[in-house]
Structures are given as C-alpha cells and as structure tokens.
Structure 1
Amino acid sequence: MASFVLSIARPHLYHLSPRHKIPSLLCLPPLKPFSFPKFSPVLSHPKLVTHFVYHKTIAKSSSVGSRETDDPIPDESLLGEDSAAFQLSEQKLSSWVYFTVILGSVLLALNFLWINPSTGFGTAFVDSISNISGSPEVTMLVLMAIFATVHSGLASLRDQGEKLIGERAFRVLFAGISLPLAVSTVVYFINHRYDGTQLWQVQAVPGVHELVWFSSFVSFFFLYPSTFNLLEVAAVDKPKMHLWETGIMRITRHPQMVGQVIWCLAHSLWIGKTVAISASVGLIAHHLFGVWNGDRRLSIRYGKSFEVLKKRTSVIPFVAILDGRQKLPEDYYKEFLRLPYVAITVLTLGAYFAHPLMQSSSYNLHW
C-alpha cells in the first residue's frame, strides 16, 4: 500500500557471449588480476571487457542472461547489477528538469481526470465498487483485486508491449492505468481503515507504537529497490528490467514483498479492524503472486543468468546468507551508504510526519 563507489575494485572478465565461445578459457583455474601476458589474445577478444565496479564485477542487464546456448555457465562469471549505484557527476540537469515537468503534468492530469469529483472518474469508480455489497471489507478487497489484476497483468505483458510500442510508451501506458487505481485503493484504505469490527485493541500497550513505527520505517528500505532510478520510472531514461544483486537484494530476492508484509503486519497490529485486515490480506496475496510472477519473468528475460542469481539469493530474508549461498563482502555496509538510501530515509520520515496531511486530503474526497 505504501507503495528508494566508495572503493577501487579489481578488474574481472565480463560475460562471454555464446557466439564467441572459448571452451578452454572456462576450464582454466582462476587467474590473479593483471596476470595475463601483455599481448594476450584473450584480452584482445572483442567480446571481453573489464569493468571496474564496487568490489565486484556487475554485469550490465543488456549483456547478461543470453538463452541462446545450453553451455553451462560458471557461477562466478555472472553477477547481477549493482543496485542503488548513483553518481552525481553522471546526472544531467536537463533530465531532472524534464522529470519535474513530467511529474507535474502527470499529477495535474491525475487530479483533473480522476481525483477531482467535479471532473474526474474516480468518485464514480469507487462508488460503483462500494455499491456491490455495501461492506467496506468487500469493497477494499475488490479494489485490491482490480488493481492487482491490472498491475500484474500489464507487468506480464511487458515484453510483448515493449516490442509493439517501445519501452517508454509502454511505461506511460502502464503508469497511466495503474496509478489511478492505486490512488483509489490508497484513499479508500485511509478513509475506511477504522471501519468494520474491532478484533483487538493494543494501541495503549507500552512499546506497541514504537514497534509499529520501527517496523514501518524498516519496511520502506525493502519496498523501493527497483525504483532507485526515478528517471526510468518517469520514462526520461529508457526503462529496463533489472537484475539486481547487491544491497538489499543480498538479504532477499523479493524485497518489495518482504517490505509489504512488514508494513501490513505493523498496521494491522496497530489498527486491529477488519477493513485494515482485509487490505493486508489483499496486499500480501498480491505480492506473494508477484514473487512467482517476478521470478518467471526474470527467467524468461535472463535465462541462465537469473538461475545463477536465484541459486545464491533467497525469497525468505537472510536464508541464503545463513546457509552460505550468499557471501557478504567484508564492507557490505557500504552498499547502503548511497544517496538513494539517504533519500528513502528522508522520504520515509517525511511521510510519517505528513500523515495528518494525507488523511485530511483523503477525507475531502469522501471515497
């Protein structure tokens, strides 16, 4: 519902294209950095490059995961992308100006076409769902089901849609349909979260507020791993399907699901009403489906590369670390000391203090 390099690395060989097989190279023992002869034919091969990244080679998404060969791929030759990497020097002012203009235009259009009761369709949409049974629990679940079906359905059609109309156009289509449905669902939840039957009341219990606040705060660090590049979200940069492996992805391969579960459990504990519980049930079910669907889509897109990444990550947090499949670097904490995580911290705190503003804005809609 609440739906964000510090050291010198060693050079490693990049992913080897299946069209340029060098079987003997895969049989060689690991070589130390810079141990190749000066005029080595291996280094002169056009498909081999070196790439300096924070402590490990991070394979670009456009280069990994070819499914054109059945040859085995050594685990150490493939790594996902370095998540949350952000270089201020690489940013273009014009891109962020463009992003601001797009964001403002989208919000104006959303308000005129959907939110504003006198001009938009949002009120009629929510009213039509509410009239199905008159039960706020049912309305909450139906709103969730509609959003989940559209959101996951369009995500599943991404490959075909991008081939048909292009990456940017499909992103605009995806956002244009999903965003109004998400707003309706969020606003209805805010307005009706205390409706229904009171199943428990623990708000006065010492420590519960602190537990709920901390859990909600932590959940946002899981919720936004795939939206670090806001320019892609707004289609200023060409949108990509990323194969992340660093940062939060070392803890769980599906951080958004984990973050949503944490958020739902915390808010359900705090509120204790049946409408809030129904919202949590719908959200968790949607994200559990997203675990299966996300793995399926990544497997189709990246093939063996994703299978390698899948082996050394886990859905359940920390399992891959505890059983030794995920090897954390000694300075793992540096993967979080990056501007996107700082932005998440600031925005999460801002969202907490902005709760009264969000509530009053939602109440004005009477959804």
Structure 2
Amino acid sequence: MMLNPGLAPSHLVMLGLLLIFAIAHSGGAALRPWAEKHIGPRLYRIVFALISLPLAVVVITYFFNHRYDGWQLWQLQDVPGIKAVVWVLSAISFLFLYPATFNLLEIAAIQKPQVHLYETGIIRITRHPQMVGQIIWCIAHTLWLGTSFTIVTSIGLVLHHLFGVWHGDRRLRHRYGEAFEIVKQRTSIIPFLAVIDGRQSLHWQEFIRPAYLGVAIFVGLLWWAHPLLIVATSNVSW
C-alpha cells in the first residue's frame, strides 16, 4: 500500500468520523433516561445499536483502508518479537474494552437492559476499563503502524474515551447519587491505583467468568480473521 505524503485529507476525514461517532454514542447515552421513559429500555437499546454499530463499522473500515496514510514516522514491523508484543497488548485491551460482555442478554435486549453500578472484577482495577482498553489498543496499533494517520486516529479515540470518563461518572452520579460517590471513593481511574493505595483488593475468583473465555475466543478468531478483514475492507472504495 502506497503512503500518502504529509497530512493527507484522510486525517481530517477520520477525525470527522470519530466526532460523528462520539456525538452519536455519547449523545445516545445521555438520552438514555429520557428514551427509556418514553420508548422502553429494550427499544432504546435496539435504536442505540442501530445507530452506533453502523457508524463503528464505517470508522473501522476507514481505518483499515487508510492506516498507512501520511508520514511513516517509524517502522518496527521487522523487529523481532514486536508482532507478539502488539498481539499481547491487543488481547489485554479487549479484556478491558468489553466488560459489557458480562451482560450479553441485556446487550441483545433479550433481558431488560439496565445501568449497573459495579465494584467487583475489573472495576477493582479501574473504574473505566473501556478507556484503559482503548489506550492500550491505541498504543499497540500506533507502535505497529507508525504512521501519522494512526497517531491522529489514536488521539481522537483517546480524547473520546477521556470525555467518556467524565460523562460516565456524571451519568452514574445522577442515577445513583450517594451510592456512586461511595464506589468512586473506593475505586480509581488509573489502573491498579486503588489496589496499590489499599482502597481495593483483587479477588481472582471474580475473574473466572464465561465472559472472559468469550473474549479470549474472540481474540483468537480476530487473530485468524485479521487478514480476511483487511482484504474485505480493501474492497470498499473509500
């Protein structure tokens, strides 16, 4: 794949796509109480998914097709062991990115979707696992690709998730009040900080859950299908 020199237009397009996704995703989350009151939790979940998932597919496809745009700032792909490091980091990132897999029936709206206030499992490590997972994913892929386009994409993703930290806490505070403040005091945003300073202790039994096996299987399938995904997205002209 040829490199587009300099700050190609795709950099701005990606930032625009990420902004649209962020508005739709965070805006939909902000509207959840109103929407659930008027159309019910299940229909809200379906509408939210019908808006968010296609936008996510567009962003992922565009990233695949333009990942080598711009300046090649470094090239480490031939360094021994770097591929294994990237895959290990990516696998770890998914363990943080998808804690919602604990409630698959709610995601699919089979069970009534609810907002949960957790203080167990991965929440003992960090109160915002999706933000941590996204940062790890961005580090891994930026390390592997080394292009200005990847850096711009990573900055956009991280900024969105940092906003999500503030926005998520704000929504939980509004919903749960004092109960959330207690959880907030006993947890941390920075991974393992609450464990290190004694506010939390890890219980390994809480991590023995089918959801983690599901994420491990997903990572394996993604590793197998990764070349196929690249070929499939390359058939899209944008």
Give the shorter-chain TM-score range.
Answer: over 0.9
The answer to whether residue 181 in structure 2 is matched with residue 307 in structure 1 is yes
Instruction: Tell me which of the two structures has the higher relative contact order, counting C-alpha pairs closer than 8 angstroms and 6 or more residues apart.
Output: 2
The aligned runs of 1:95-244 (5 Å cut-off) are 135-244=9-118
Deviation at 1:168, TM superposition (A): 0.8
Partner Cα separation in structure 1 for residue 223 and residue 118 of structure 2: 28
- The code of the aligned residue for 1:141 comes to L
Question: 1:337 is matched by which residue type in structure 2?
Answer: I
Q: Deviation at 1:350?
A: 1.0
Equivalent residue of 2:161, what SS?
Answer: helix
**Equivalent residue runs for 1:13-28 within 5 Å:** none
The alignment's C-alpha RMSD in Å is 1.3
- Does structure 1 retain, via aligned residues, the 8 Å contact 2:42–2:113? yes
State the distance in 2 between where 1:247 and 1:320 align.
13
Q: How many residues align?
A: 232
| Residues 125 and 192 in structure 2, CA contact (< 8 A), matched pair in contact too | yes
Residue type at the aligned position of 1:358:
L
Secondary structure, counterpart of 1:187 in structure 2:
helix
Mapped to 2, the partners of 1:158 and 1:174 lie a distance apart of 9
Identity, in percent, stands at 56
What letter is aligned with 1:345?
A: A
Distance 1:192 1:327 in 2: 43
Partner of 2:221 in structure 1?
350
Bigger Rg, which one: 1
**Secondary structure in 1 matching 2:195:** helix
Residue 337 of structure 1: CA displacement? 1.4
Contact 2:65–2:234 (CA<8 Å) still a contact in 1? yes
Runs of 4+, deviation exceeding 4 Å: none
Query: What CA distance in whole angstroms lies between the structure 2 residues aligned with 1:208 and 1:266?
Result: 10
For residue 191 of structure 2, the aligned residue among 290, 293, 317 is 317
Q: In structure 2, what is the Cα distance between the partners aligned to 1:242 and 1:226?
A: 10
Separation in structure 2 between the aligned mates of residue 134 and residue 280 of structure 1, nearest angstrom: 16
Deviation at 1:134, TM superposition (A): 6.7
1:365 matched to 2:236: yes
Q: Which amino acid aligns with 2:222?
A: A
Runs of 5+ in structure 1 lacking a partner? 1-132
The structure whose residues are more often helix, as a share, is 2
2:130 to 231, 253, 256: 256
Match of 2:212 in 1: 341
The Cα shift of 1:227 comes to 2.9
In the TM superposition, what is the alpha-carbon distance from 1:327 to its structure 2 partner?
Answer: 2.8
* Distance in 2 (alpha carbons) for counterparts of 1:284 and 1:317: 16
Secondary structure, in 3 states, of the residue corresponding to 2:52? helix
User: What one-letter code is carried by the residue in structure 2 that aligns with 1:186?
Assistant: I
